[in-house]
């Protein structure tokens, strides 16, 4: 182990003593005494905002799994999501207009599970047949394209993790005990994104532009099981779904 030069050690001791004295007396703290908010971090806090956005999108894309929760507003409709996503599938719940339904996708097979009220558009007979079952969504059904996006990690994140307007940084913050750097688009009107300063620069919280929802990201790279439901709990409706 290499020795630390005595001059450097002495300067460090004197600086620490001076800072302590200033703190006790209430005097203005010298620049050299201020704590570096990026000390011990992954370093992205020192990057330009555009580079931070690039780094966090790359980290998100490379991660094998993530949990996403919060709200998304699209076409005037609000969806509350709680989804676990990975490369080859996803599972979780979506709530809209008071109705909650569960989505499960394995590969290209998409299943939707909901109560009788959700299926009531197809009449009492359809509702009774489909209630509480995992209903296989035909790939040609309009509902497939609409709902499969909620279970597709790459599609969902690539559409969400983009701020609009001129990018800038907005200081150091904290999300669920993790230090973050916040970047904004057009001073916040184009959205804000908190990026982790610990470990990989994963996105942790997104406020979408235009009051289009707030999302939190967690469980990055934590794997989970996603398997097809038992046949006894599955219904292949065979034609366009009533809820479509």
How does pLDDT run along the chain (244 residues), one tens digit per residue? Answer: 333 334 434 444 444 454 455 444 444 444 445 578 899 999 999 999 999 999 999 999 999 999 999 999 988 899 999 999 999 999 999 998 888 999 999 999 999 999 888 887 656 667 778 889 999 999 888 888 888 999 999 999 998 998 999 999 999 999 999 999 999 999 999 999 999 999 999 999 999 999 999 999 999 999 999 999 999 999 987 666 765 4
CB 192 within 8 A of CB 182: yes
- Structure token pair of residue 133: 């079952």
Strand order in the sheet with 99-106: 167-175, 178-185, 192-196, 203-207, 214-218, 65-74, 77-86, 89-96, 99-106, 109-113, 134-136, 234-236
β-strands 167-175, 65-74 pairing: unpaired
Nearest residue to 178 (alpha-carbon basis) of 42, 71, 60 = 42
Angstrom distance (rounded) from CA 116 to CA 126: 9
Residue 123 pLDDT: 60
Measured torsion, CA atoms of residues 145, 242, 135, 68, in degrees rounded to the nearest 10: 50
Q: What are the Cα distances from residue 8, in Å, to 36, 122, 185?
A: 19, 78, 42
Helix/strand/coil for 195: strand
């Amino acid at each position: 182990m290499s020795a630390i030069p005595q001059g450097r050690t002495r300067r460090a001791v004197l600086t620490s003593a001076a800072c302590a004295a200033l703190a006790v007396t209430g005097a203005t703290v010298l620049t050299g005494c201020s704590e570096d908010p990026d000390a011990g971090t992954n370093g992205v806090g020192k990057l330009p905002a555009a580079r931070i956005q690039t780094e966090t999108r790359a980290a998100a894309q490379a991660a094998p799994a993530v949990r996403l929760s919060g709200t998304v507003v699209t076409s005037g409709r609000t969806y509350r999501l709680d989804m676990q996503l990975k490369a080859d599938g996803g599972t979780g719940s979506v709530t809209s207009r008071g109705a909650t339904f569960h989505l499960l996708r394995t590969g290209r097979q998409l299943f939707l599970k909901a109560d009788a009220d959700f299926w009531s558009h197809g009449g009492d007979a359809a509702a009774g047949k489909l209630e509480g079952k995992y209903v296989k969504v035909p790939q040609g059904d309009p509902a497939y394209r609409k709902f499969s996006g909620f279970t597709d990690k790459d599609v969902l994140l690539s559409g969400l993790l983009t701020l609009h307007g001129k990018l800038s940084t907005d200081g150091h913050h904290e999300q669920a005990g993790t230090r973050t750097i916040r970047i904004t688009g057009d001073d916040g009107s184009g959205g804000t994104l908190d990026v982790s300063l610990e470990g990989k620069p994963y996105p942790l919280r997104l406020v979408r532009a235009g009051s289009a929802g707030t999302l939190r990201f967690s469980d990055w790279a934590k794997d989970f099981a996603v398997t097809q439901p038992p046949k006894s709990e599955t219904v292949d409706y065979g034609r366009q779904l009533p809820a479509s």
